[in-house]
Structure formats: structure tokens, C-alpha cells
Chain A
């Protein structure tokens, strides 16, 4: 069957199970858009190509499948860079398809020509230029295979306009992926496995560090069985949240820079760290010289390059988290670790009652209250997509996730502007789920143009803007480390409720604690998007905190009376 390259692309995407493509048209990708119009694929028109990549990323993270973003050459492609890097840092399988000028003029600085494969080389798992129609089907299949295989990541496919226009024989069966053969490594020998088992069965104070890899591998059940088998307390990375139910007594919650102090102290006192699908990021470890000094370390990780990168480990079990855990569990002797678990409870002490959530209403509106109320009202069942900053950390602390893939957030790159577009992608991935956007007033203003996408696509997400009039996390650092010199952090914002109205979206504003729950309930009852502008305390800070580069044992604790400490008169 003869098809044009553009038709082959659409047909291939359809056969690969793609339903939605997030994109923005332009000259060098026009043949594909013409073919898209004749296909069954649904194209979501974004307002900026960065949004397209975040949507594809949100789609991938919510579904566990692959998200697809599309843009034209030149600026269309360069606008994708931030989204691609975001997906790369968080191992998210995204396939980006860009148009390119015709192969005849490649390298001639033609209109809207840019070397996007050169630009994205360090921020993609792989990228490739296609100049012939007959290469499209095979290359797209390879791109999907690469994006989702092993440790997932973004793949960019750049297709010249003449390849889109030319005709070629389309034969799906004959276009099998042909990836270069890879050496099969013996991931860990029996002796290493036995050492891991010995360490597991002799540890007195073990703790699991649970990361995103558990979700990526689909290892939730295997992980739970492993946890139960050894009765191990579990601390989570930001991206690990959801891999193990928050309401499980063994789940200690998030570790690291804004983890609870008792969780970090437990890590510092442990005699065995079992790291699963995590990479000892600096936000998790603090100062490496003082990190978990008394603990032996087992690292279960699919990416060999992560072993001993930041933290020296005693045993590395390289492989897919599910496979390794399933192999380990039968060898794990049951221990109750009662003394250790009781000790962690002692470390926890009264911090649960000291935190802001338990304090009475004093007339001020705190972000933590808002997020905790969203958690209570949604029963912890919503998919929450956050941006980056204070609200992100409060979400991790005060929204308790019991299910995997329900917290979607930019961890590694920390990309402001991620939340709104990623939530749109998540909603397309799981249309039956309730999706909440939790976003600051700074990050929201970076990608708020995607409100128009929401309206055009008639989708239903709930947007909670945690509006404190500052770039809050940067302001907090200025407060702590720069003597309260608030340079370039106070920011003016439009009236978000009125802005929503201008887009044709219902907008609300909340200034009092008593209004929070009713407005959340009312928003949930609506089957349309609702934007709520929560005017929260301006100079509130996220506690506790490990200062950048400081030891995990050395946390800035919550003030004894945060209401007095942090409240400013309205």
C-alpha cells in the first residue's frame, strides 16, 4: 500500500495505540497535520509547545503509557526543550515529533530551520532525524520501544518535510524495529544477591527508601509483599509518593529536604538502607559526608549509571524493581523490628500535633490548610498535579496519596509552569478520574495560556492557585539565607478569578479558612473546570527544612507557634 510519509506516521501512531497528540502546527509539519485531519487520532491544540510536552508527560505519568507531543521546526521545536528536559529528569516516556525543513535545504539556515536533534541530544534518551518516508514506520516503532524500555525517557523524532510528503510502501509487519544489539549484562551474581539477603536478614534498624522506579516498573504489589515480609518502615522520595499507601502504618512519608525531621532522623540512625528505584538525589540526601553513616546500603536500580553515583552502596542489585523484589521476598525472613519501629514512633513524638494542620482557625488562611482540605474532600482519591515550589512541598506533606500515579509533579528538573498543562494530559489519560491542579501564583502565570486549551477541549480539571503574592520558595530562601532581602520575589498577578471568567471558566476567590471546604465541594460538584484563587498567608514557610548542602540531621524545625511566627496582618 502506497502512503505519504505523513500518512504513514499517523497510521503508525494509531497502530501503536496512540489516541491523543498534544501539539501545535506550523509550516514544516503541515503535511502531517493534513494527514492527522483524516485519521482517527485526536489532536489537542495547545497554546505553547512547552505545554504540549508537559501534557504528553502528564499523560504518560498518569497512564503508565507513552505521551506524544508534536510541533513544527525551529521555534516550535525549541519551545519543547524545557518539557523534554523535564521528562528526561523524571524518566517519563514521551515521544516528541517535530517537523524539519526539507532534506535538500538542511544545513542552509532555511526559514525556521534549527538543529533540534543537536539541541536535545543531552536531554533525550535518544533522538533521530528522518529524511525518507520509508524509514518513518520503523523509526516511530523504535522510538516507542526506546521511550518505554528500561529506564524510560523522552525520544525526539525529527521528520523532514520532504519525507512527510514523499510516498512509500507501507508495510507494518516489514517495519519491525531494528535497534542495535545490546550486550546482555549479568546484572548481579549470586554472591551479591546472597549478600543482600544476608544484610536484609541481619539488619536491626532497616529502612526502605522508595522511589519512582517502583511505579515505573509496576512493582507496587511486589513492593508491598516485600515490605510485609520484612516489616520494613518505608520512607519515600517525592516521586515515590503513591507507590505505597500513605495510610499504611509502615509508611513514614516523604524524606529529604522537606521531609519530616523524624523520618530523616530514622534514616540517619538506620543500620540498613534499602533503596528501591531511587537515585539518592541531593534533595534527598543533604550533605553526603554525613548521610546515613551507620547504615549499610542495598541499591535496587535498573540504571547501572546510578550505582555509586552519589552514595557508595554495599550491594547493587541491578534490574527491574519488580523482578528483583519478587526474587528477594522469598528469601526475606520475617522480623517484627518492633524495637526499631517503636523508636521511630518516639522520634516522631509530638510533631504530628505541632504541625500547622492541627492548629485552630485564627482567621488566617494557610496553604497547608487548603491542601489538607482538598485531601479530605477528595478522600485522597484525586490525581493531583502540582507545580514547583512551596505548594508542591505542602502537597507532599498534607495530601496523603494511597494510590500510584496520583501525584504528578516535576521532581528532578523542578519546572515551574508544569502543573496546568501536565494536568490536562493527565485528564486525557484518565478521563474518569478527578484531577486537581495545585499551583502557585508564579508558576501558574508561566503557562496559564493553556486555560484556553481546557476550554477548547471542554475538559474538567479543578485548579487551586495557592496565591501568596510571592515566588514563595525563593522568598523563603531569601528569608532564611539572605536576611529577608526579597529581591525579585514579590509578584503582581492578575485577578485570577476574573481571568478565568475571561477564558469562559468559572473563577472563585477564597480568603478565609471557613470558605475553603464549601468552595471545594462546590467545585467538585461542577462537571466543568473551576479555578479557585486561594489568597493564602504571604510569608508562610515550608517546615521542616534541610538547608541546601546541610546534613540531613540538621533540620530547620517548625517554629513552636507557627501562627504567631509566620502570620502577618492582612
Chain B
């Protein structure tokens, strides 16, 4: 599994270009999250892909060839902070509710909706943590689940920021010949 971060133009069609590229390279995407950045013209993607290092290199380099992609970087080998968020609706009756609440506490999750026959649990953390919670909830009966997919950020001073605007090279912008 490889994790890439990309900064892209925040406009229609860009997600399609990115996902279509992964399809063309026969790379299966495990999760892809998009959200705006502090600059509303730029969106940030975290792409988690089923591929090896070589495939990730191709994906990264090919993504960066897309006009609307400002930067793409494979951050799999770097010190990362990863977060996934899940809403899990689990069936809960009077009897097992205390037991459930205990588990929720252990996982530092929280209950965000209470109904007579069910609870909605919100949990965030690494994929492993959420998978772990899911594992122990399963016997109670998981009725519904929604997950955001992973977002990742490199730790500490290892910054990954969108590039600043550059002046264009107007020499290229011409139909005239360059036969030498």
C-alpha cells in the first residue's frame, strides 16, 4: 500500500482526471480523499493505492504531468500522521449497552447519536485503530458504516506545501517552426 499526497486545482473534472489516470495505469485506489486547503483555489488529495514503490513512482510522476496537478508526492516512507474517520451504527439494547460504552471508551471513540435500538459511534484515528474497533463491535451487530478514507500529513518540519506561481515561458507559445 502506498500513500501519495497531491495538490490540485480546485475545479470540476480534476478528480476525474486523477482517478482516470490511476485506472489507466491499472492501479487500484484503496482510498482517495479530497478537501480544500487554506487557499480555496487549491485542493489537497490523499491517495492510498494498492501498488508497489515502482507503481507509486509512475503514479506520482504521471499525476504531476497533469496540468491541473500542482504537486504529487509519494510519502509512504516518511514519518506520517494518518487519520481516518468512521461513523458506525451498531445495534444496542439495554442489556449490552454498558458493555458497548466501555469498549467505546477504550478506543477513545464517542457516541454521537442514541436511539432505542442503536447507537452511532464516531471514531477517528489510524486505519488499524478503526479496524480494531470494528472487529470488537461486529458481535453486537454493525448496521451501517461510513468511512472518510485516509488523510495523511508528514510530521514535524517535513513540509509539503503547494508551489507558488511561476512566470510563464512565452517562447513556447508559438506555432512557428524550430527546425535546426
A65 on the B face (CB < 8 A): yes
In Å, the complex CA distance between A218 and B61 comes to 24
In Å, the complex CA distance between A122 and B62 comes to 12
- Flag if A309 contacts B58 (CB, 8 Å): yes
B96 on the A face (CB < 8 A): no
**Interface size in chain B (residues, C-beta < 8 A):** 36
Partner of B17, one of A121, A177, A304, A309: A121
- Flag if B70 contacts A183 (CB, 8 Å): yes
Q: What 1/0 flags go to A126-162 for Cβ under 8 Å of B?
A: 1000000000000001001110111100000000000
- Flag if A182 contacts B174 (CB, 8 Å): no
In Å, the complex CA distance between A429 and B66 comes to 29
**Interface size in chain A (residues, C-beta < 8 A):** 45
Whole-angstrom distance between the Cβ of A16 and the nearest chain B Cβ: 5
Partner of B61, one of A125, A181, A305, A429: A305
Assess A182 versus B17: contact at CB under 8 Å? Given A66-B175, A304-B64: no
Q: What 1/0 flags go to A177-199 for Cβ under 8 Å of B?
A: 10111111000000000000000
- Flag if B58 contacts A144 (CB, 8 Å): no
Partner of A181, one of B17, B62, B166, B179: B166
Whole-angstrom distance between the Cβ of A238 and the nearest chain B Cβ: 20
Whole-angstrom distance between the Cβ of A462 and the nearest chain B Cβ: 21
Partner of B177, one of A65, A68, A176, A181: A65
- Flag if A63 contacts B174 (CB, 8 Å): no
Residues of A419-449 contacting chain B, CB below 8 A:
429-430
In Å, the complex CA distance between A111 and B47 comes to 39
In Å, the complex CA distance between A121 and B162 comes to 24
- Flag if A68 contacts B70 (CB, 8 Å): no
Instruction: Count A-B pairs with CB separation below 8 Å.
Output: 103
Residues of B148-180 contacting chain A, CB below 8 A:
162-166, 168-169, 172-180
Residues in B with CB closer than 8 Å to A461 are none
- Flag if A177 contacts B175 (CB, 8 Å): no
Residues in B with CB closer than 8 Å to A65 are 174-178
Q: What 1/0 flags go to B50-85 for Cβ under 8 Å of A?
A: 000010011001101111111100000000000000
Q: Which of A19, A121, A150, A183 has the most CB of B within 10 A?
A: A183
- Flag if B61 contacts A307 (CB, 8 Å): yes
- Flag if A181 contacts B174 (CB, 8 Å): no
Residues of B20-71 contacting chain A, CB below 8 A:
20-21, 24, 54, 57-58, 61-62, 64-71
- Residue of A whose beta carbon sits closest to that of B65: A305
A570 on the B face (CB < 8 A): no
Chain A interface residues (CB < 8 Å from chain B): 13, 16-19, 63-66, 68, 117-118, 121-122, 125-126, 141, 144-146, 148-151, 176-177, 179-184, 218, 220-221, 303-305, 307-309, 404-405, 429-430
7 shortest interchain CB distances as A-B pairs: A305-B61, A304-B61, A63-B177, A64-B178, A17-B175, A183-B71, A183-B163
